[in-house]
C-alpha cells in the first residue's frame, strides 16, 4: 500500500526526452494551483472529517480546479485523541457545518464530566480555523465563553495543545476601557491571518460588554458549562443569543438538571426553532413525557404538589463518619481527599476538624479570587505538595476544576439538583488521574437527605430517557410518594433501599446487579449491604463502626476501579 501511494504521489511526467510544453498549459496537465488537503488523509490514524465524493477519470477531466478536498484533523491533535474523542470531534464538525441536520449549525456536547470535552473543542476550533472542503478556512474567529474560574484553564489548554501555532485572547479582568479596547480589536480582525483568532471570556464579562461584541461577527461560539443558559429569560442568555454567530456549541455534562423546559432552552440556543416554540414543546413533549414518568399515570393532568419542609434534621453523625474516613485514609494511604459541601457553614466545621487533627488543608469558596483559585489548584495537584485536604464549596468550584491531585472525594450533603452533585463528584475522576478513585456520599438515614437522593434518581431517569434515549428506565415516584418527601423514617437502615430494592430477601442481597451496570446506573442496580462484610474499600470498612448503617457501593471501569 505504501509503495502504491508513493507511486501515485509522484507528479505526471511526459515520457518524451527534453519535452517542453508550448504555452502556459499542456494537454492533459493541470496547472500548479490544484487544491490539496492540509493534512494527509491516508496517513496512519488520520482522523478524516470530510471525504470528497469519488470521481471517475472522465469526470476528473471535465472538472475544474475547484474540487473539494479532504478535511483532516491536525495529526498533532489526532494522534492524542482517544476513540470516543475522535467520534466527538467528528460529531461536532458535522453539526456546526450543517452536515448532520441541514439548516442547523449547533449542538450540545453532553459527554460526562472528565472525558476530555475541552480537547475535542480545541480540535474543532483549530480545524475550522484552518480547513474546509473548499481548501480555505471555515471560520476566521471563535469565541469561548466559560465561568470565570475556567477562563485561565481554557487559555492554558489551548497553549498546551496548539503551542505557538496561535495566540488566544483571554479576558478575565481589567477596566471597562481596557476590555472594550481588546474586544474592538478582536471583532475587527478579518481573514485567515487574524493574530488572535480565539477569544476566551467569562459569562459575566460577555454580558457586561455585549454591546461591543454584537458589532462584530464570530464564526463559532462555544459555551462551556452551558447549563448556565437553562433560563432563556436571563440577561446572559439573551446577550449570547443576540450574537451574530451561526455555529454554536454548548458543553454540558448535565444538560437536563430540573425539567425539560430547561433542556428546551439549551436546544433552542444552539438550533433555534428545531423544537418549535416553548409552548409547542411543552404541549407536544414535556407534558406527555412527565405524565408517562409518573408511577400512577392516568388520563388526568397531574400537578406536583408544592414541596414544603416539615422537618429539619439538625446534628447528625456524618461528621463522625467523616472523621473516621479521614483518619484511616491519612494513616494507611498516601491519598489526598476533596471535601465538598453546599454550605460555607459546613466548610467551617471541616476547618475546625482539620485544625483539631492537624491536617494540612486548603479551602476554596466564593470569597477566593479567580486568579488565586488557579494557583491553589495547581499547587494542590502537585504530588510534592503536603496538603492532605481540599475543601470545596460546590457552588463556587463544583464545575470544571481539575483536582486530580486527590483520588478520594467526600460529598457531605446532597443537592436537590443531581447535576450539581455529579459536577462536584467529577473533580477527581478526570483525564490525567493515575490512581484508583473513591467517591463517598454521606446521607443521613431516614431523613430528608434520603428523599433528596431519591428525587435525584427521578430527575436522572428523566435525563436518561431524553438525552441517552434509554427505553427501560425505572419509574420512581407516584404523586402520593412525592407528598411523603418530608416524613422522617426512624425505623430503617436505609429508606432508599426500602424504596428501591427488588433484589433482597430479608434484608440480604440474593441477586447481583444486572450485567453491565456501573456507577452511573440507578441505585437500585448497585451492590448494597447492611454490614461491612461485602465491602472492598478498606477505608470505608474500617470506618463502618463509627455510625454507618447501610452502604450502596459500585465499581466502574475495571482499569480504575472507581468505588462510590
User: What is the reported pLDDT for 323?
Assistant: 86
In a domain, 269, yes or no: yes
Instruction: Find how far residue 67's CA is from the centre of its chain.
Output: 37
SS percent in the chain: helix, strand, coil, step 5: 40, 10, 50
On whether both 257 and 324 belong to a single domain, the answer is no
CA-nearest of 167, 206, 166 to 183 is 206
Classify the C-alpha dihedral 129-131-134-135 as positive or negative. positive
Q: From CA 329, how far away is CA 323, in angstroms rounded?
A: 10
Give, for 438, the enclosing helix (H) or strand (E). Answer: strand 438-441
Rounded Cα distance between 221 and 227, Å, is 15
**Does 359 share its domain with 276?**
no
As given in the structure block, the three cell numbers for residue 499 are 424504596
pLDDT digit string (tens) for 527-553?
777 777 778 888 888 887 766 777 877
pLDDT of residue 531: 76
User: In this structure, are residues 439 and 425 in contact, taking their beta carbons and an 8 Å threshold?
Assistant: yes
- Of 250, 173, 232, the closest CA to residue 208 belongs to 173
Tell me if 497 is assigned to some domain: yes
The Cα 141–Cα 195 span in angstroms is 10
282 and 222 part of one domain? yes
- Residue 202 has what pLDDT? 95
**CATH number reported for the structural domain that contains residue 434 in this entry:** 3.40.50.300
Task: Tell me what pLDDT residue 31 has.
Answer: 45
Query: What is the distance between the alpha carbons of residues 268 and 545, in angstroms, rounded to a whole number?
Result: 51
* pLDDT the model gives residue 38: 92
Secondary structure string (H, E, C) spanning 228-258: HHCCCCCHHHHHHHCCCCCEEEEECCCCCCC
Tell me, yes or no, whether 374 lies in a domain.
Answer: yes
CA–CA distance, 317 with 443 (Å, rounded to integer)? 10
Nearest Cα to Cα of residue 227 among 216, 218, 236 = 236
Beta bridge partners of 72: 48
Q: Is residue 556 part of a domain?
A: yes
CA distance 80 to 47: 11
SS3 148: helix
Q: Would residue 8 count as lying in a domain?
A: no
331 and 265 both lie in a single domain: no
| Beta-carbon count within 10 A of 411 CB | 22
Contact 94, 102 (CB under 8 A): no
Q: Closest Cα to residue 441, out of 499, 534, 526?
A: 526
**Residues 534 and 489 reside in one and the same domain:** yes
Unique residue bearing C-alpha cell 477505608: 539
How many CB atoms are closer than 10 A to CB 425?
24
Instruction: Report the C-alpha gap between 336 and 330 in whole angstroms.
Output: 8
Look up residue 519 and give its three cell numbers. Answer: 456507577
Q: 234 and 326, same structural domain?
A: no
360/505 same-domain check: yes
Strand partners, 408: 337, 438
To the question of pTM greater than 0.75 for the whole model, the response is no
Distance (Å, whole) CA 487 – CA 191 = 64
Provide block-wise average pLDDT over 10 residues at a time, the chain (564 residues). 40 53 45 76 93 74 75 95 94 91 86 87 96 93 94 94 90 90 92 87 95 95 93 93 96 82 91 83 76 63 35 55 88 91 84 87 88 89 92 77 89 83 82 85 78 73 60 53 54 58 67 70 70 80 76 64 38
At which residue does the C-alpha cell 441505585 appear?
Answer: 523
Three-state SS for 238?
A: helix
Q: Domain boundary at 274, 290, 306, which? A: 290
Cα(107)–Cα(55) distance, rounded to whole angstroms?
A: 32
Looking at the structure, tell me whether residues 271 and 324 fall in a common domain: no
The widest CA-to-CA distance across the chain, in whole angstroms, is 100
For residue 447, being part of any structural domain is answered with yes
CB 286 within 8 A of CB 263: no
Residues 534 and 430 in one domain: yes
For 241, the domain range is: 71-290
Q: How does pLDDT run across 141-181, given as a tens digit for each residue? A: 999 999 998 999 999 999 999 988 888 999 988 899 999 99
Asked whether residue 339 falls in the same domain as residue 276, the answer is: no
Residue 53 in any domain: the answer is no
How far is 366 from 137, CA to CA, in rounded Å? 41
Distances (CA, A) of 100 to 91, 96, 97, 106: 8, 8, 8, 10
Neighbours of 453 (CB within 10 A): 20
Cα distance between residue 67 and residue 559, in whole Å: 46
Q: pLDDT at position 8, please?
A: 39
In a domain, 27, yes or no: no
pLDDT, residue 11, reads 52
- Give the CA distances from residue 44 to residues 35, 50, 71, 97, 120, in Å, rounded to whole numbers and listed in that order: 22, 16, 15, 25, 20
Cell, residue 442: 454521606
Domain final residue, candidates 238, 272, 290: 290
Percentage of the chain lying above the pLDDT 70 cut: 74
CATH code for position 191: 3.40.50.10810
Q: Which pLDDT score, from 0 to 100, does residue 17 have?
A: 56
Q: In this structure, are 342 and 267 located in the same domain?
A: no
Q: Which residues, at least 6 apart from 328, have a Cβ–Cβ distance to it below 8 Å?
A: 538, 539, 542, 543
Domain count, the chain: 2
354, 414: one domain: yes
Amino acid at each position: 500500500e505504501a509503495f502504491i501511494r508513493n507511486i501515485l504521489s509522484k507528479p505526471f511526467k511526459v515520457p518524451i526526452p527534453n519535452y517542453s510544453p508550448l504555452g502556459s498549459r499542456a494537454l492533459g496537465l493541470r496547472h500548479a494551483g490544484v487544491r490539496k488537503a492540509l493534512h494527509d488523509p491516508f496517513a496512519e490514524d488520520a482522523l478524516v472529517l470530510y471525504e470528497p465524493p469519488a470521481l471517475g477519470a472522465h469526470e476528473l477531466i471535465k472538472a475544474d480546479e475547484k474540487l473539494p478536498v479532504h478535511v483532516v484533523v491536525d495529526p498533532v491533535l489526532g494522534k492524542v485523541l482517544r476513540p470516543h474523542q475522535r467520534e466527538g470531534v467528528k460529531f461536532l464538525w458535522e453539526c456546526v457545518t450543517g452536515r448532520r441536520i441541514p439548516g442547523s449549525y449547533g449542538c450540545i456536547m453532553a459527554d460526562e464530566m472528565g472525558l476530555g470535552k475541552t480537547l475535542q473543542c480545541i480540535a474543532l476550533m483549530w480545524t475550522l480555523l484552518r480547513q474546509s472542503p473548499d481548501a480555505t478556512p471555515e471560520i476566521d474567529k471563535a469565541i469561548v465563553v466559560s465561568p470565570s474560574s475556567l477562563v485561565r484553564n481554557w487559555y492554558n489548554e489551548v497553549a498546551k495543545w496548539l503551542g505557538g501555532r496561535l495566540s488566544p485572547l483571554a479576558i478575565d479582568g481589567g477596566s471597562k476601557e481596557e476590555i472594550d479596547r481588546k474586544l474592538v480589536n478582536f471583532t475587527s480582525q478579518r481573514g485567515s491571518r487574524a493574530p488572535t483568532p480565539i477569544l476566551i471570556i467569562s459569562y459575566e464579562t460577555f454580558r457586561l460588554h455585549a454591546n461591543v461584541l454584537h458589532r462584530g461577527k464570530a464564526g463559532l461560539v462555544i459555551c462551556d458549562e452551558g447549563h448556565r443558559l437553562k433560563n432563556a429569560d436571563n440577561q446572559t442568555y439573551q446577550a449570547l443569543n443576540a450574537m451574530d454567530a451561526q455555529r454554536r456549541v454548548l458543553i454540558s455534562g448535565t444538560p437536563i438538571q430540573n425539567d425539560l423546559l430547561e433542556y428546551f432552552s439549551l436546544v433552542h440556543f444552539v438550533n433555534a426553532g428545531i423544537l418549535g416554540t416553548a409552548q409547542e414543546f411543552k404541549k407536544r413533549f414535556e407534558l406527555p413525557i412527565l405524565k408517562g414518568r409518573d408511577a400512577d399515570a392516568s388520563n388526568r393532568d397531574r400537578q406536583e404538589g408544592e414541596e414544603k419542609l416539615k422537618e429539619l434534621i439538625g446534628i447528625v453523625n456524618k461528621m463522625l463518619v467523616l472523621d473516621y474516613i479521614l483518619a484511616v485514609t491519612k494513616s494507611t494511604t498516601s491519598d489526598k481527599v476533596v471535601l465538598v459541601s453546599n454550605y460555607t457553614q459546613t466548610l467551617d466545621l471541616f476547618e475546625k476538624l482539620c485544625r483539631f487533627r492537624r491536617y494540612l488543608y486548603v479551602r476554596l469558596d466564593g470569597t477566593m479570587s479567580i486568579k488565586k483559585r488557579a494557583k491553589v489548584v495547581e499547587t494542590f495537584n502537585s504530588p510534592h505538595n503536603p496538603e492532605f485536604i481540599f475543601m470545596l464549596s460546590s457552588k463556587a468550584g463544583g464545575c470544571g476544576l481539575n483536582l486530580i491531585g486527590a483520588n478520594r472525594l467526600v460529598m457531605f450533603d446532597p443537592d436537590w439538583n443531581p447535576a450539581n452533585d455529579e459536577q462536584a463528584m467529577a473533580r477527581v475522576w478526570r483525564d490525567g488521574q493515575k490512581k484508583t478513585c473513591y467517591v463517598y456520599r454521606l446521607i443521613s438515614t431516614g431523613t430528608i437527605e434520603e428523599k433528596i437522593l431519591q428525587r435525584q434518581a427521578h430527575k436522572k431517569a428523566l435525563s436518561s430517557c431524553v438525552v441517552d434515549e434509554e427505553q427501560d428506565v425505572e419509574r420512581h415516584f407516584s404523586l402520593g410518594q412525592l407528598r411523603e418527601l418530608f416524613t422522617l423514617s426512624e425505623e430503617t437502615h436505609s429508606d432508599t433501599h426500602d424504596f428501591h430494592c427488588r433484589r433482597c430477601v430479608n434484608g440480604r442481597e440474593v441477586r447481583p446487579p444486572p450485567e453491565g451496570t456501573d456507577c452511573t446506573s440507578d441505585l437500585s442496580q448497585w451492590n448494597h449491604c447492611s454490614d461491612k462484610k461485602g465491602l472492598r474499600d478498606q477505608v470505608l470498612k474500617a470506618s463502618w463502626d463509627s455510625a454507618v448503617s447501610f452502604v450502596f457501593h459500585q465499581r466502574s471501569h475495571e482499569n480504575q476501579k472507581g468505588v462510590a
